[in-house]
Structure 1
Amino acid sequence: MINIERPHVAEWLNRHPHQVLELGFSSEFEAYLNTLPWAGSHIDWRLLDHKSLELPEDIDADFIESCRRTPWGRHDYLMIMYSGMEPALLCGTVDAISDIDLLYSGAPGTRFSCGADVNDGRVILNCLEFVEYDGYAEFTYPIRR
Structure 2
Amino acid sequence: MYIYESHIQDLLNIGRAIIVPIEIGDQFGRFVEGLPWGANGSGLNWARIDGLRKELPSSSGVILSEWLSGTNINNDSYVVFWFSFGEPCIACETQFAMYNVDHAFWKAPGRRYLFGLNIRDGEFIPEYSHFAEYDGANELIFCVAGYRG
With the length of structure 1 as denominator, give the TM-score of the two structures.
Answer: 0.89
Q: If each structure's strand is expressed as a fraction of its own residues, which one has the higher value? A: 1
* Contact 1:59 1:98 (8 Å CA) reproduced: no
Task: Spell out, residue by residue over 1:62-92, the C-alpha distance to the aligned partner (whole angstroms, 9 max, x if none).
Answer: 3134224311122110111111221001211
Please say which of residues 56-65 and 78-87 is displaced more in the overlay: 56-65
How far apart in 2 are the matches of 1:70 and 1:57? Answer: 19
Unaligned runs of 5+ in 2: none
Going from structure 1 to structure 2, the CA distance change for 1:68 and 1:10 (only over 3 Å counts) comes to: farther
Aligned to 1:76: 77
RMSD: 1.8
The one-letter code sitting in structure 1 at the alignment partner of 2:24 is F
- Say whether residues 1:96 and 2:73 are aligned partners: no
SS in 2 for 1:129: strand
How far apart in 1 are the matches of 2:32 and 2:58? Answer: 28
How far apart in 1 are the matches of 2:144 and 2:10? Answer: 34
Aligned to 1:55: 56
How far apart in 1 are the matches of 2:48 and 2:91? Answer: 29
How far apart in 2 are the matches of 1:16 and 1:101? Answer: 18
Q: State the shift of 1:96 in Å.
A: 1.0
Aligned to 2:4: 5
How far apart in 2 are the matches of 1:92 and 1:59? Answer: 18
Q: State the shift of 1:43 in Å.
A: 0.5
Going from structure 1 to structure 2, the CA distance change for 1:65 and 1:76 (only over 3 Å counts) comes to: farther
Unaligned runs of 5+ in 1: none
Task: Spell out, residue by residue over 1:75-115, the C-alpha distance to the aligned partner (whole angstroms, 9 max, x if none).
Answer: 11011111122100121111111111111000021111101
With the length of structure 2 as denominator, give the TM-score of the two structures.
Answer: 0.87
Aligned to 2:32: 33
Aligned to 2:115: 114
The one-letter code sitting in structure 2 at the alignment partner of 1:24 is E
Q: Percent same amino acid at aligned positions?
A: 27
How far apart in 2 are the matches of 1:33 and 1:93? Answer: 20
* Contact 2:54 2:140 (8 Å CA) reproduced: yes
Aligned to 1:43: 44
